[in-house]
Structure 1
Amino acid sequence: MIKRTRLYLTRKYKRSILLFFLLFVISFSIAVALSIWNSINTVTKEVERSLGTSITLKLSSATQTEGFYQDYTIDVMYKDGNRYRCYNGPPLTDDTIRQVLEGVDGFISYNADDDTYGHLDELKLIPGLWDSTIRKELWGGGITPEVGEMFSRQTMVFGNTDSSLYSEFRSGSFSLVEGRHLVSAQDQGKALISDELAKLNGLEIGNTFDVSVRAGFVSNETPLVRWGEPRTLEIIGIFHVNGYQPSGDYVAETDNTYNYIFTDLDTIKYLEHVSYQEGQEHLPVERYRHVTFFVEDAARLPAMLEQMRNLECISSSYYDISVDDTMYKSTVDPLNTIRNLVAGLVLAVAAGCAVVLCVVFTMWVRSRQKEIAIYLSMGLRKTAVLGQFVLEAALVALLAGAVSFAACQKVPDLIGNRMLASTIEAAQPKVEEPTREDIHQAAQSGTTSELFAYVSGTYAGPENIDFTFGAVDFLVLLLLELLIITGAICWAGRFIFEWEPRKIMTTLK
């Protein structure tokens, strides 16, 4: 059979060359499609594992109801003489987290977070409302130069068990551009700051700065008096805010994301403890503000949510449980769009190839009826004759596949990343830059933060993928082509099994 195959391919070299070019085009098309699909499929699974979806546990939004105030808050007298109502109900603690992880199977990680105000003793903040107040000397209504100076250096300080899992970093609203993220358990006294804040103060990785609590947190009488000792933080990472950030005279320094500081939870607890200890007699309940649990398998999310709600440590009276899959959808959906599109193309190409090869091999096999009749008259089995045709086509396909393997090394990367870039661009949220009048009106109504352009719907996956066509892909390609060739030749040569001995003799004449 091998000898007959070699003789036919060399003697009918023109037909063999035409078959080679046809199979090369088919191999190349399938190779590119398989490469893109396989790479996208691998990346999608990795993104699903790293992002998945999440369930957020936080103190109930029912804090405004009379029943909640009566059952879960207490009256506290501050040292400035004013009375305030403070939360005193069941807290979100490490014990709560432990019970959830033990009671619900399927969570792969979690992030607990809290935040507070911090005063930067030495650093300048990106200027805003309070800097404008000082420059314009807009004093009155209890606002003094000392109050203005304190608030012009006050910013938001965020603590996380793992800063990389903070919502804005996961969504891509913030991105780390230098250094590394911090993990509270091992990074005590460390911090992340924005690139804008670092540039303003001439800071870089390894530099330190102090954050403290000032009396103006509670009282306007002595706002610049420092309570407790400052905390010294070392910069281990610098982040960038993606998108437009409103700033200027109508945006308070604490509302400007460029001024945000990320640090460990121990520092947050210390700052809160100092402010409460100095400002009132009642110390705060040790707790987290939110805890976000990340799910390994998004399909199990509804069942896990129900399990979580049924835990004894969880009560809807004081906890809110919500599903956050915005980032998952904004990142995985674009990848799935490409994967599904390419999967459809693979099927379409394979089906088209099968049709083309059926037509080609039907003409090829039927043009060799006399040759087939000779083989049968020599006593060869009908299956052996078809086997020889399959072997001839398979050898040409192997050569065409090897050439296409070399030719398509760069093409999938080019096509795949163009598709990825186009899909990411289409998935981006529409950002409208507010006008000065918009910012002014928002400042008057207290809704400035709603103008911030960073959102949780931004794409958070890879922006460039290495689309490679490897050895495994090559084997899959050869197997797929062999199946198509075998099927096409068997379809084209099915008439052989209908031949009677008389038909064979008639064909030989």
Structure 2
Amino acid sequence: MNFLKRAMLYVTRKKGKSIVLFCILLIMATFVLSGLSIGKATKQAQQNLRQSLGGSFHVWTDYTDNNPYLHKESDEDESGGTGYIMYSTEQLSSDMVKNIRDIAGVKYCDAFDETLLDFEQLSFFKGTIPLEEELGNSTTTVSLWRSEEHNLFTNGVVKLTEGRHITEKDTGKAIICKDLADKNGLGIGDMLKTRSMDGRSMTLEIVGLFTAMETEKIGKNIEGYNKIQNRVFIDIASAILIENTPAVQGFSEVSITINDPEEMDEIIEKVKKTPGFKEDGFTIDTENETYENTASSLESMDKLVIGLLIAAILVSVVILSLILTLWGKSRVRETGVFLSLGIKKTDIIGQYLTEVLLIAIVAFGISFFTSNMVSNRIADVLLQQDIQNKIEEPNDVQQDDIVIESFESTALGGVDNIELSGAENTDYLETDIEVSVSIENLLQLYLVGFVIIIVSVMISSIAVMRLKPREILSRMS
């Protein structure tokens, strides 16, 4: 009779022991499987969080004395006062921006510059702050690499409703607000004549119309050239032709949005290796705080789950080994008889191992259902405990709050005056984790569980298996 048949007969004959061992293995499997499923759910939640929040960093022209390419030129204004113009001869070209955009993991490249241009044929919407007469026909003009990747479009402040976006290959193209176009009787394909403050002029074709999804804050003092309805978007090639100065030969800044904040450092290193990029001419600022603060709860929970999983495995090995050792002492006579009949020790251990595995196969299968019932509750308890600990920590910033920040102010007033959705209200991250036990988790349980059983059976068999048949029989007598 081989050891497989002996194992099956023993399990069916010793019903009491089999039921006890089944319950122990079921409890063990439930906790191990719950830990595996919670760990997987936590990692998935971290991945979803990274994808939803993303990350960003800015490449700026360095306007400090550390930039060897920085130039300062004296500039005398109409009143006789003397100032100076500061610019860098090293600027971000369209080719450099394209190379950055092509880096794996980069989602958007928002390369732009802003200047005031004069549009004599346009009648602009009035602001709340009176303007000097010479600025009456001027507005903020945004020169772009790709308009569809500019933050106003990607964040939903404005939406292209007619025509097309501006691309890096365009020259002499413009996008204006549909309200402004209706006010002036213009549409797609019409021409706009613009002029710089120094008198250089150029004709632009309207290729797109946008709708402002958000308006300026009520009661906010704002110049007419800073109203979102008066904003004009043009291609960077046109801006270079109109300005025709060393100060405008490319972009002085680019905001780079990436898919995964964890790849921030790697992508920044690749940006530094972009052809034409000179590190001493630019500075790089990262914006990863929101992800780091928000992900801290999930990361702490992940470490806690790993610790609990390891503890569950170790406790399972210890308890199972003790129980099998105690039961093994009651089978000394059986072991001695097997050895005296010439049955190999490996066959005897194989029988003991098979007995446990037969019960484990059933217990592990049923644990699929018990783990589904308890894993979500365990996850909620762990996460809430971690959040509570963080709330109790002294911190000037509440880490679980995600505030949708307004855009950076620019030299011309930027878009701080625009009422952004959520800019005044705090949005909260959903911290619930949906845990479900998958077939993959169940297979992992069988693998981990079988290892636990093998180790436990080997430990429990050492005391008896190292004895010879005569020593076993003498102990029995």
Deviation at 1:11, TM superposition (A): 1.7
Residue 394 of structure 2: aligned partner: none
Q: Distance in 2 between matches of 1:261 and 1:339?
A: 50
Kindly provide the CA deviation profile for residues 364-421 of structure 1, in whole angstroms up to 9, marking residues without a partner as x: 2223223223322322222322221211111111111111123434654665578668
Alignment of 1:94-493 (within 5 A): 94-97=94-97, 108-109=105-106, 111-116=109-114, 130-131=127-128, 159=144, 161=146, 174=155, 185=167, 231=206, 233=208, 247-250=217-220, 252=222, 267-269=234-236, 272=239, 277=242, 285-291=248-254, 301=265, 305=269, 308=272, 313-314=277-278, 316=280, 318-327=281-290, 329-330=292-293, 333-409=296-372, 412=375, 416=379, 427-429=399-401, 467-493=435-461
Deviation at 1:483, TM superposition (A): 1.1
Kindly provide the CA deviation profile for residues 240-286 of structure 1, in whole angstroms up to 9, marking residues without a partner as x: 9xxxx994424648999x959999xx73537856xx94xx7759724
Amino acid at match of 1:483: V
Q: Distance in 2 between matches of 1:307 and 1:382?
A: 64
Contact 1:375 1:385 in 2 (8 A): yes
Distance 1:98 1:310, change over 3 A: closer
Distance 1:162 1:213, change over 3 A: closer
Residue 89 of structure 1: aligned partner: 89
Contact 1:55 1:292 in 2 (8 A): yes
SS of residue in 2 equivalent to 1:291: strand
Q: Distance in 2 between matches of 1:315 and 1:27?
A: 55
Deviation at 1:496, TM superposition (A): 0.8
Distance 1:90 1:304, change over 3 A: closer
Q: Distance in 1 between matches of 2:15 and 2:220?
A: 80
Amino acid at match of 1:30: V
Contact 1:361 1:492 in 2 (8 A): yes
Contact 1:76 1:85 in 2 (8 A): no
Kindly provide the CA deviation profile for residues 328-387 of structure 1, in whole angstroms up to 9, marking residues without a partner as x: 534554443332222112112112222221222222222322322332232222232222
Q: Distance in 1 between matches of 2:446 and 2:473?
A: 38
Q: Distance in 2 between matches of 1:214 and 1:87?
A: 27
Deviation at 1:314, TM superposition (A): 0.6
Distance 1:371 1:472, change over 3 A: same
Distance 1:65 1:101, change over 3 A: closer
SS of residue in 2 equivalent to 1:249: coil
Q: Distance in 1 between matches of 2:231 and 2:327?
A: 71
Identity %: 18
Q: Distance in 2 between matches of 1:361 and 1:57?
A: 65
| Greater displacement, 26-35 / 370-379 | 370-379
SS of residue in 2 equivalent to 1:61: coil
Return the TM-score normalized by structure 1.
0.62
Distance 1:488 1:454, change over 3 A: farther
SS of residue in 2 equivalent to 1:351: helix
CA RMSD of aligned residues (A): 6.1
1:29 paired to 2:4 = no
SS of residue in 2 equivalent to 1:267: strand
- Aligned residue-pair number: 437
Deviation at 1:92, TM superposition (A): 0.9
Q: Which of 496, 500, 505 is 2:464 aligned to?
A: 496
Distance 1:63 1:495, change over 3 A: closer
Q: Distance in 2 between matches of 1:393 and 1:176?
A: 64
Gaps of 5+ in 1: 134-138, 202-207, 220-225, 434-445
Q: Distance in 1 between matches of 2:225 and 2:25?
A: 62
Distance 1:348 1:54, change over 3 A: same
Residue 8 of structure 1: aligned partner: 10
Amino acid at match of 2:14: K
More helix by share: 1
Kindly provide the CA deviation profile for residues 12-60 of structure 1, in whole angstroms up to 9, marking residues without a partner as x: 2222122212211211111121122234335646876998876642211
Residue 68 of structure 1: aligned partner: 70
Q: Distance in 2 between matches of 1:90 and 1:348?
A: 57
Q: Distance in 2 between matches of 1:345 and 1:404?
A: 18
